[in-house]
Each structure stands twice: as C-alpha cells, then as structure tokens.
C-alpha cells in the first residue's frame, strides 16, 4: 500500500527529527539538569541556551510508543497519487501499510491517526519489547484524523498527556515513531507556529514544527521538554513526498476530546453553524469600516440553519465566539467544529457598521447542510456593466435577486470580478437595480465590498477606487 504524504499537504504515516542549534557567543547546557527546560535563559555575562535531554525523554517514554501495521485491499485503502488523484477503476489487490501510535491507558487504549487505519481489515500493534497484538478499532473520526485502538493487554506503559494550549512558539519538541518502518525512531525540533490551518474542512488548528516527519510517523506522539504528549503527528508539507521542514501535529487537547467521545459512543460528533465564511483582508476591512482586518466574513447563510435562526446575514463579520477572538475564518471553523451539537454560543458580530451580540444553538454537522434588456452601471468609478437577471438566470444562480455582470473594467476588473458573475449585494445591501448600485458606489469614498455569486459559490470581493 502507498502511504506516502500527499502533495503539498497530506497525511504522512510518521515521528520528529533532530534540529541543529547554531549559537554564536553562547554556552550550551545539556543533561538531566536541563531536562525540563526548553527555552533560552540569560545571565548578565553570557547567554545560556538550555536544551532538554532528549535521551532521557526517549528512554522514559519510548516504551509507550507502538508500531501500527495494517492490511486491507487497494480499493478501501488507496489514498491516490502525489497530486491527490484517486483511481476508482483500478483492480483491487491486497495492500499493507505502517504507521505509529501511543498507549494512553495501562489496559491497552492507543491513539493514532484515522488515516492510518482507514479501510484496514486487520490491524496489528507491535510494542517495543517485540510483542504483537491484534487491535480493535474502537472508532475513528476522519474530520479530525483521530482513531482509537484497543489491544488485550494489561500493565502497559503509558504516556502522560500535556497541554498543547500551553506550548509556545520556539519551544523544543520531540517525536517518536516509525518513519519508513524504522521503529522507535526519535527526532526533535522546535514549535514553528500554532493554529495553522491546512486545505480541507477538518477545522483542526495544527501545531507546526520543523521536526522531521516522514511516511510511517503518522499517529506517533509529539512530546514537549517534560516528556508529555502535546500533539499527534499527522501531516507534512512536501513536494517530494518526504520531509521538507514543515510538519503538522494535531493538538492533544482536541485529540483527547475526540477520544473521549469515541470511547463512550464509538464515534465523534461535530457542530455546525450553517455559514459560508472567508477571511477579512485590508480591502474588506476598509469596506466594512473595521479597524483591523480580522474576523470571519459571512458570505452565505443556509436557510433554516442555526446561523439563520440567530439572525446572521451575508456581510456580517463574526469577531468572537464565547469570548474567543476570531482572527481568521479558520478560527471560527475550528471553534464551531470542536463544539458539541446543541451547544448555544454567543457571537460578537459586526453588522452594518455596528457591534451586535447574537446567540446560536449549534446543529449537528452530520445533518443536511446546504440544503432581458441590457443596461449599464457607471464605469467611471466601479467599472461594471450590469443588467437585471431574468427568471431563468435567477433560478440557475440560486438567487432571488441580483444583477448580471456583462462586462468588467477598471477597479472591478483589478479586484477580480468577472463577466457572468452575479452581483448580489454591495456593502451588505441586497441590490435589485442598477440605480441602487450607483447610489451606494457614489456615496462610498475608498472602497466597496461586492457580494458575488459565481459557479454556485458566494464570495465577497473588495473593490478599491482610484
């Protein structure tokens, strides 16, 4: 079976690597005395770089890291080629793959990645003492890429859970796993960033490290300088299929939430709000009169969704959820996705130039989701030639109002508006006539935000004048 990482970011069956430290005029301190320290400290005379003793961590924690071998058939297990293409017409054949995992309870509970055991008909867990056990998959959650295994054993070594929320960028971290089948390989590096979002709808805010993670490392633990688990190695960014300095781990805080649900019910649930959102850039911030380009801009609201019931509309900017700041759209996706269905959340919203507070009762993510005469607008400032939609065009676009973009020039063209787009609103005001558009544009000084419907997708496009 092919388990090499996707290109550019895809699951990688994996562990973490030794990072080199380059210090000028600094003393390096190693050994047990430095075991619990992972940041630099200084004295008045010289800088002292304190490093954790990775050998101590490996010796103490390595016994709780396992190798996970899976077998199945190509139809169920294949992940596609390096470009993410799949081949459903290919004949099925037996396939095998390897990943990593770690023990979290003395009676044999093991955490790993969902993609490690995806489609597997047989799962074997090998301990560091060479014993092998057939494992039962208690459940897996593809959305967060978490799976829980159970083996029939007792008095097993376990890893202690840490807190990913307490990690700091620049801290030392270490991983243990089976890259390319080389069991219990130890690698180390630093935390490069937190809260990273990757393509897809997982809603996971990954821990990024510069530790070497390769195929076979997936499901293995990311450990802090105290030897506590802070993440599960899951993905790499690679153009070659191997490590290129960008590795991503699922925060253990999230993994523990998912694990608890799987152990209790056999599956994990995720909530949904029912909105299409996008990031707020400087142009959109100017258009909506926001002080900073932050928040999740609502471009579409599902009919009958929790968002609609709460009163959210296109053009609203969600800035906080239960007091947690939303900087990027992915922050909202993560907070909502990690909530339980039925939870009521408080939303701080920027609505038509003023702050409002709304409350939404989140739904279950598994429930149904997304359920002529030519005229011209002034091209001098905006650059659009528009005409009203006929009934068939409204039906095809999935809107009940709007104007068809016939031609684009000037500011609108530079912003990315295209011919045959449907203009639905300007600065959150639904538009049904060219006169409306002209009036809003004439009253705007710096920029306007155009709500555009294109190929079934609704997006805001900021247009700057001048």
Domain locations in the chain as residue ranges: 1-268, 271-364, 384-464
Residues 246-253 have a mean pLDDT of 95
Nearest to 125 by CA among 68, 80, 176: 68
Catalytic residue list contains 218: yes
DSSP-H helix ranges across 290-368: 306-310, 329-337
The single residue of 53, 141, 145, 331 carrying the catalytic annotation is 145
Q: Which of 77-81, 152-156, 234-238, 436-440 has the highest mean pLDDT?
A: 152-156
Percent of the chain exceeding pLDDT 90 equals: 54
The single residue of 38, 53, 69, 115 carrying the catalytic annotation is 115
The single residue of 140, 218, 234, 444 carrying the catalytic annotation is 218
pLDDT of residue 76: 54
Return the residue matching tokens 């191997």.
242
**pLDDT surpasses 90 at 124:** yes
pLDDT, tens digit (0-9, with 9 covering 90-100), for 168-191: 999 999 999 999 999 999 999 999
For residue 408, name the pLDDT band (cuts at 50, 70, 90). confident
**pLDDT surpasses 70 at 435:** yes
Catalytic residue list contains 145: yes
pLDDT, tens digit (0-9, with 9 covering 90-100), for 379-405: 457 888 888 887 878 888 888 889 998
For residue 48, name the pLDDT band (cuts at 50, 70, 90). low
Separation between Cα atoms, residue 325 and residue 319, nearest integer Å:
6
For the ranges 86-90, 138-142, 226-230, the lowest mean pLDDT is seen at 86-90
* Bridge partner list, 193: 208
For the ranges 288-292, 299-303, 321-325, 338-342, the lowest mean pLDDT is seen at 299-303
* Bridge partner list, 133: 125
pLDDT of residue 49: 58
Does domain 1-268 fall under CATH 2.40.10.120? My reply is yes
Its pTM stands at 0.70
Do residues 441 and 429 touch, judged by C-beta distance below 8 A?
no
Right CATH for 271-364 from 3.40.50.300, 3.90.470.20, 2.30.42.10, 3.40.50.720:
2.30.42.10
Percent of the chain exceeding pLDDT 70 equals: 81
Element housing 308 (H / E): helix 306-310
pLDDT, tens digit (0-9, with 9 covering 90-100), for 125-160: 999 999 999 999 999 999 999 999 999 999 999 999
pLDDT, tens digit (0-9, with 9 covering 90-100), for 312-364: 999 999 999 999 999 998 899 889 988 999 999 999 999 999 999 999 999 98
Catalytic residue list contains 267: no
Q: What is the CATH number of domain 384-464?
A: 2.30.42.10
Equal CATH topology for 1-268 and 384-464 = no
């Amino acid at each position: 079976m092919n388990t090499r990482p996707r290109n550019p970011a895809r699951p990688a069956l994996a562990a973490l690597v030794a990072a080199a430290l380059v210090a000028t005029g600094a003393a390096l301190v190693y050994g047990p005395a430095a075991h619990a320290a992972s940041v630099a400290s200084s004295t008045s005379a010289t800088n002292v770089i304190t490093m954790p003793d990775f050998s101590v961590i490996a010796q103490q924690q390595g016994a709780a890291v396992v190798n996970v071998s899976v077998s199945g058939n190509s139809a169920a297990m294949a992940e596609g080629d390096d470009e993410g293409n799949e081949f459903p017409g290919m004949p099925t054949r037996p396939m095998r793959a390897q990943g990593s995992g770690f023990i979290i309870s003395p009676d044999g509970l093991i955490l790993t990645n969902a993609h490690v055991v995806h489609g597997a008909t047989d799962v074997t867990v090998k301990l560091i003492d060479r014993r092998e056990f057939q494992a039962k998959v208690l459940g897996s959650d593809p959305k967060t890429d978490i799976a829980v295994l159970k083996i029939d054993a007792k008095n097993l070594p376990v890893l202690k859970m840490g807190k990913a929320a307490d990690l700091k960028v620049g801290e030392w971290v270490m991983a243990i796993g089976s890259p390319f089948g080389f069991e219990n390989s130890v690698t180390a590096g630093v935390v490069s960033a937190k809260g990273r979002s990757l393509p897809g709808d997982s809603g996971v805010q990954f821990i990024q490290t510069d530790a070497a993670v390769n195929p076979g490392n997936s499901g293995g633990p990311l450990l802090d300088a105290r030897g506590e688990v802070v993440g599960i190695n899951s993905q790499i960014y690679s153009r070659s299929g191997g490590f290129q300095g960008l590795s991503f781990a699922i925060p253990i805080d999230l993994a523990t939430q998912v694990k608890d649900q799987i152990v209790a019910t056999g599956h994990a649930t995720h909530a949904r709000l029912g909105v299409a959102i996008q990031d707020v850039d400087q142009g959109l911030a100017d258009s909506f009169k926001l002080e900073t380009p932050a928040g999740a801009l609502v471009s579409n609201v599902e009919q009958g969704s929790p968002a609609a019931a709460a009163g959210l509309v296109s053009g609203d900017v969600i800035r906080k959820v239960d007091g947690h700041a939303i900087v990027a759209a992915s922050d909202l996706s993560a907070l909502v996705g990690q909530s339980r269905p039925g939870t009521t959340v408080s939303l701080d919203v920027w609505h038509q130039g003023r702050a409002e507070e709304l409350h939404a009762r989140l739904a279950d993510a598994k429930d149904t989701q997304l359920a002529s005469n030519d005229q011209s607008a002034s091209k001098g400032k905006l650059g659009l030639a528009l005409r009203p939609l006929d009934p068939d065009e409204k039906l095809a676009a999935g809107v009940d109002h709007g104007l068809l973009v016939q031609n684009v020039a000037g500011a609108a063209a530079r912003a990315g508006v295209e011919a045959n787009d449907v203009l639905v609103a300007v600065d959150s005001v639904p538009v049904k006539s060219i006169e409306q558009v002209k009036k809003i544009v004439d009253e705007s000084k710096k920029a306007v935000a155009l709500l555009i419907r294109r190929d079934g997708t609704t997006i805001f496009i900021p247009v700057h004048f001048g």
